[in-house]
Structure 1
Amino acid sequence: MNAKSLMRQFLWENKRAYGISILAIIISNFINVQFPNILGRFTNALQAHRLTSKDVLVYAALLLVVGVVYVQFYAIGQYRNGKLGRQFEYLLRRRLFAHWELLSTEYFRHRSIGDLLNHAMNDIRQVREALSGGLNILTNAIFLLLATLIMTFTTISIKLTLFSMIPLVFIPGFIVWFGPQIRDSSRKVQEALSDMSELTEESFSSIRLIKATANERVETERFRDKVDHIVSQQLTLFRRSATFQAFIPTMSSVSFAIALLYGGYLALSGQIRLGAFVAFTLYVGQLVQPLQQIGFVINNFQRASASLIRLQVLLEEKPSITNAPHPVELTGVRGEIEVHLPAFQYSDAQVPVLRNIEFRVQPGQTLGIVGRTGSGKTTLANLLPRIFDPPANTIFLDGHDIREIRLETLRKAIAYVPQDGFLFSTSVGENISFGDADASRAKVEQAAKAARVYDDIVAFPDGFDTVIGERGVTLSGGQRQRTAIARAFLKSAPILIMDDSLSAVDMSTEKQIIAALGRVRQTRTTLIIAHRLSAVRHADHIIVLEDGVIAEEGTHEELIAKDGLYAKTYRIQQEGEVTRV
């Protein structure tokens, strides 16, 4: 459901609540316009010398009652509309986030996080302000204008009212002509804010690199350029908004001048009473107020319209990876993997990143995948859970094309340790139990022990309840990797993928984790991607990728005997380890 449809549905589902709030505002306006009428009657009585002390008290009491009742009804309408606006903001943010979760990884390769966050914050806030505050003001303006006109037509003079309204008829045409310019400026401001958010998010994520290379001044200059662009766009928006807002008071002032001239003439000639003239001058002020409010609301709605269009584009994005029309309901996954991949190429790439990949892994076996940086190891691992979609009939799980298996079933059957060992900014325990939220503390601790991170965690101030920073920034690289491994161990999925997840641990810890993995992998099919060959020497089968193709394959002993790329790399790494020792 897109943003406009979601708004229409929300308005329809809450039509009764909106009706009550709008009715409260309408009642408040018809009460409010009694104020000039009472003052006019008071002026007539004062002019005729008919006022007594009791009459003064009665008029004062009437004005007090009008003021109190008006405020009560208007407050009810404002509160209810504001509450409904917040509910829609909450609903739209949830809908937007849920939609992002459905989109494929390919989408996020081409969109900045800062821009997406700007959608979730500023654009939705603009829509909410239009729906709550804007609706309040628009309802108040329309019915205050209507109530004022009714009172002036019926209690003062139709001619005086019509003459005074002449300058105001130009306002709607000006709104129609100038409004789109404000909407265009608002869109450019939002886009500039997105660019700033993108740079800010990027700078904060790379703060260690910035400080290590003494590039704070460079980043500050980049940020200043973005802010200068925002200021330039905002000044353009403010100029147009100021012009828009100034036009309505100008026309209102002309209208007020006509009211004084013609109304004064009618009063002096005896065609209307002095009290009616005094009341009309107050009514003119009440005519000006809703017209100014209408201008403000139109301005607000133009901005919200630009934001709604941006949200509309987001919510109309379709995931590139979806379930087949009739997906296979695979139960009891054994973990047999078979790959016959002629080629795989990213949508924005010129050449395939993988070519002629052929292998088979039996349930419970371990496959080691090694190769230089950029050889396609991570890409191959990402194809199995369909993070990126392989061609049809190229990758099979338990004899079924993975594109035919229900996505949720496929991904639940896989425990995945990403290359960066990503962690969430929550407690260590919650990070480990991410794949199994119902896991007991005992199971969490058991997984931490298997990943050799238990001793580190219990040394933290709050143990497993210690809250780590964003992306686990408060942990060392090795602690992050081991925590991510513990998370995968706890999931107990039939397939385990470890993407270079031992690179930040020392050799002793690596051996301990591999020993624990040896016990775990008896019931799992395991894919281990590694640069350090000691992490895969125990594998049942090893493939060596070079420029996207399998250059060598076999067991550790067979590859050593071939004395090829694997053997040479292994000897170099062994010499390096000996040197460090």
Structure 2
Amino acid sequence: MRQYLITKKWSYTTAIFSIILSEIVSVQFPHVLGEFTDALSRGALTSVLIAHYAFELLVIGILYVLLYGVGQMLNGRSGRIFEYQLRKRLFEHWESLSTDYYQQRSIGDLLNHAMNDVRAVREALSGGANILTNAVFLLLATLYMTFTTISVQLTFISMIPILLVPVLVVWFGPKIRTASREVQEALSAMAEFTEESLSAVRLIKATASEEVEAQRFSRKVQEIVKRQMHMVKRSAIFQSSIPLLGSLSFSIALLYGGLLTVSHKILLGQFVAFTLYLAMIITPLQQIGFVINNFQRASASLARLRVLLSARPSVVDSKTAISLPHVQGAIEVKLDFFRYPNSEHKVLEGIAFSVQPGQTIGIVGRTGAGKTTLANLLLRVFDPPRGAIFIDGVDIRDVVLRDLRTAIAYVPQDGFLFSTTIAENIGFAKAEATPSELMQAAKDAMVYEEIVRFKEGMNTQIGERGVTLSGGQKQRVAIARALIKNAPIMILDDSLSAVDMNTEKMLITRLKQLRTKKTTLIIAHRLSAVFHADQILVLDEGRIVERGTHEELLQRFGIYRTLYDLQQGEQGVTV
């Protein structure tokens, strides 16, 4: 935030200067009324003089509105720009972090940071700057006018209760800040629950659990209300204490100022002006209390945002990383073992194989065998040990991450789709793709004929996560997205599980035709997806227990043959 304030120093300086001038103008109002009262008490008022005083008040009002309006507009504009830049910076920072970060943080919590915490800081920066500048300089200008035009002694005595304001700030400030942090944490918990519940809405409806979810949500909201009431209680006591002190000052001023007026030590007009000045002092005191309250809340939000922005990706380019713009697709794996961060369990062990450009490798095995983990290591979603995985003879730990991931077209298990059009989903990895390229990719993925049946065709909005498409359609759109990338390496991570057998067979045949000189890794539970592979790896408990072609593995009567017989019996699989 400090850097932003420096870059916008002239805007904020101009805004503050405009607000200061507006307060200098506004404090002339009681002075003019005081003069008017003195002229009235002396019987010296004429129609010309009345018009003169009225014109002065009109000019004061117009100048105040113009000057304060300019300051408020400049501060508000700078605050909105700050809000935009901070949200943009947050998103870009989140995009740079590694996958493991999101395994520890919920999406709902992150969204709460991007919405509520950023807004709290912006309100303190723009609205708070307006009000604080206005309040402080109105207070100073008012005190100056009372010192120079009325009575120094009356001003000092009347201001005695105001000296307790710093004590209130020191006492209540940390309490309000703590309460605000607790409210934000409760809001994050609610956002996390909401995101999770809406994502599982199909399951909730299928199990008739709407009432249960509503009760769970109600408890989250009740916790927010509880913490907000706790914060409101502290804020209310703090903010009401300041005008209370102002009222005490006003009482003292009436008592002592009235005595000074009766004893003719000050004029009646001066006493009237002083009461107006004192009323003007109470307003900025209330505003200062409001701003301090907001700043305490914003400081809690700012601390939370600093924690977010201090996070660093666990997978980064090494200092000696080299560019690899033209990957051929040769892969060599010599992995002794791999375990996830903060875990002692070996997920993969003794993994060794090689793939040449143009070859297709099938990777099969029971659930939990480590197939997806192997794909994640190839992509460096998690860093493999150094010297474990090579592409074109280069350790992937020494390759620029962007080049490595550009060289790989990856289709995940869930075939994730964005809540936009089919065309934009297919062209996600190639923003400059032409309509004909998008259409050809859809045809290659065996999904085009189904797309054109939709009323909007390729421009069909598919909803969140592709909710309007069937499981098989989502997987094939995801495959089309990978095909249009035309990468030297493709990884299909169980991406055909929801496709019917006939379509799967045609799709596999098409992939063989398209990728004759490229490397393809097919991870699958359904063995029919890997029958054609040049080599099939069978993983079990993180180890390669069998390898060979489909025919070779059938002859060994091992795990592969067991899985084949089981699937053949269940689905009528034939070679």
Q: Identify the TM-score tier after normalising by the shorter chain.
A: over 0.9
Q: Which stretch has the larger CA shift, 450-459 or 177-186?
A: 450-459
Residues 420-459 of structure 1 aligned to structure 2 (within 5 Å): 420-459=414-453
Q: Which amino acid aligns with 2:432?
A: D
1:52 to 27, 41, 46: 46
Structure 1 runs (4+) greater than 6 angstroms displaced? none
1:509 to 496, 503, 513: 503
Deviation at 1:410, TM superposition (A): 0.3
Residue number in structure 2 paired with 1:202: 196
Residues 566-577 of structure 1 aligned to structure 2 (within 5 Å): 566-577=560-571
Whether 1:223 and 2:217 are equivalent positions in the alignment is yes
Q: Which amino acid aligns with 2:135?
A: A
2:461 to 439, 462, 467: 467
Deviation at 1:136, TM superposition (A): 0.5
Deviation at 1:54, TM superposition (A): 2.1
Q: Is the 8 A contact 2:158 2:250 kept in 1?
A: yes
Q: Which amino acid aligns with 1:498?
A: L
Q: Hey, what's the Cα distance between the residues in 2 that align with 1:349 and 1:548?
A: 15
Residues 265-304 of structure 1 aligned to structure 2 (within 5 Å): 265-304=259-298
Residue number in structure 2 paired with 1:336: 330
Residue number in structure 2 paired with 1:135: 129
Residue number in structure 2 paired with 1:419: 413
Deviation at 1:199, TM superposition (A): 0.3
Residue deviations 1:311-331 (CA, integer Å, cap 9, x gap): 001111111000011102223
Q: Hey, what's the Cα distance between the residues in 1 that align with 2:222 and 2:11?
A: 44
Q: Is the 8 A contact 2:567 2:573 kept in 1?
A: no
Q: Which amino acid aligns with 2:500?
A: D
Whether 1:20 and 2:14 are equivalent positions in the alignment is yes
Residues 26-425 of structure 1 aligned to structure 2 (within 5 Å): 26-425=20-419
Residue deviations 1:334-379 (CA, integer Å, cap 9, x gap): 1111111111111143311111111111111111011111111111
For this pair of structures, how many residues does the alignment match? Answer: 574
TM-score (norm 2): 0.99
3-state SS, counterpart of residue 397 of structure 2: coil
Deviation at 1:577, TM superposition (A): 2.2
Q: Which amino acid aligns with 1:518?
A: K
3-state SS, counterpart of residue 341 of structure 1: strand
Unaligned runs of 5+ in 1: 1-6
Q: Hey, what's the Cα distance between the residues in 2 that align with 1:167 and 1:523?
A: 85
Q: Is the 8 A contact 2:419 2:466 kept in 1?
A: yes
Residue number in structure 2 paired with 1:3: none
Deviation at 1:294, TM superposition (A): 0.8
Q: Hey, what's the Cα distance between the residues in 2 that align with 1:114 and 1:435?
A: 26
Q: Hey, what's the Cα distance between the residues in 2 that align with 1:120 and 1:516?
A: 44
Residue deviations 1:86-139 (CA, integer Å, cap 9, x gap): 000111111111111111101111111111111111100000000000010010
3-state SS, counterpart of residue 471 of structure 1: helix
- Cα RMSD after superposing both structures: 1.1
Residue deviations 1:255-289 (CA, integer Å, cap 9, x gap): 00001001111111111111111111010011111
Q: Hey, what's the Cα distance between the residues in 1 that align with 2:344 and 2:281?
A: 65
Residue deviations 1:202-234 (CA, integer Å, cap 9, x gap): 000010011111111221121111111111111
Residue deviations 1:10-54 (CA, integer Å, cap 9, x gap): 111111111111111011000110111111111111111111122
Q: Which amino acid aligns with 1:124?
A: V
Q: Is the 8 A contact 2:322 2:399 kept in 1?
A: yes
Residue deviations 1:386-434 (CA, integer Å, cap 9, x gap): 0111111101111111011000000000000011000011111010000
Residue deviations 1:472-493 (CA, integer Å, cap 9, x gap): 1111111110100000000001
Q: Is the 8 A contact 2:528 2:573 kept in 1?
A: no
Q: Hey, what's the Cα distance between the residues in 1 that align with 2:547 and 2:573?
A: 28
Deviation at 1:460, TM superposition (A): 1.5
Q: Hey, what's the Cα distance between the residues in 1 that align with 2:168 and 2:60?
A: 35
Q: Hey, what's the Cα distance between the residues in 2 that align with 1:54 and 1:418?
A: 85
Q: Hey, what's the Cα distance between the residues in 2 that align with 1:140 and 1:434?
A: 50
Residue number in structure 2 paired with 1:551: 545
3-state SS, counterpart of residue 338 of structure 1: strand
Q: Which amino acid aligns with 1:199?
A: F
Residues 533-544 of structure 1 aligned to structure 2 (within 5 Å): 533-544=527-538
Q: Hey, what's the Cα distance between the residues in 1 that align with 2:410 and 2:572?
A: 32
Q: Hey, what's the Cα distance between the residues in 1 that align with 2:514 and 2:252?
A: 89
Q: Which stretch has the larger CA shift, 435-444 or 54-63?
A: 54-63
Unaligned runs of 5+ in 2: none
Q: Hey, what's the Cα distance between the residues in 2 that align with 1:120 and 1:360?
A: 45
Residue deviations 1:503-548 (CA, integer Å, cap 9, x gap): 0110111111111101122132001011110001101110011111
Residue number in structure 2 paired with 1:498: 492
3-state SS, counterpart of residue 329 of structure 2: coil
3-state SS, counterpart of residue 529 of structure 1: strand
Q: Hey, what's the Cα distance between the residues in 2 that align with 1:509 and 1:58?
A: 91
Q: Hey, what's the Cα distance between the residues in 1 that align with 2:493 and 2:572?
A: 25
Q: Hey, what's the Cα distance between the residues in 1 that align with 2:2 and 2:311?
A: 20
Q: Hey, what's the Cα distance between the residues in 2 that align with 1:458 and 1:450?
A: 14
Q: Hey, what's the Cα distance between the residues in 2 that align with 1:578 and 1:181?
A: 69
Q: Hey, what's the Cα distance between the residues in 1 that align with 2:343 and 2:169?
A: 48
3-state SS, counterpart of residue 522 of structure 1: coil
Q: Is the 8 A contact 2:183 2:224 kept in 1?
A: yes
Q: Hey, what's the Cα distance between the residues in 2 that align with 1:229 and 1:190?
A: 11
Deviation at 1:191, TM superposition (A): 0.3
Residue deviations 1:417-470 (CA, integer Å, cap 9, x gap): 011000011111010000110111100100000001111211222111112211
Deviation at 1:564, TM superposition (A): 1.2
Q: Is the 8 A contact 2:175 2:234 kept in 1?
A: yes
Q: Hey, what's the Cα distance between the residues in 2 that align with 1:17 and 1:308?
A: 22
Residue deviations 1:59-85 (CA, integer Å, cap 9, x gap): 112111111110111111001100000
Deviation at 1:579, TM superposition (A): 9.3
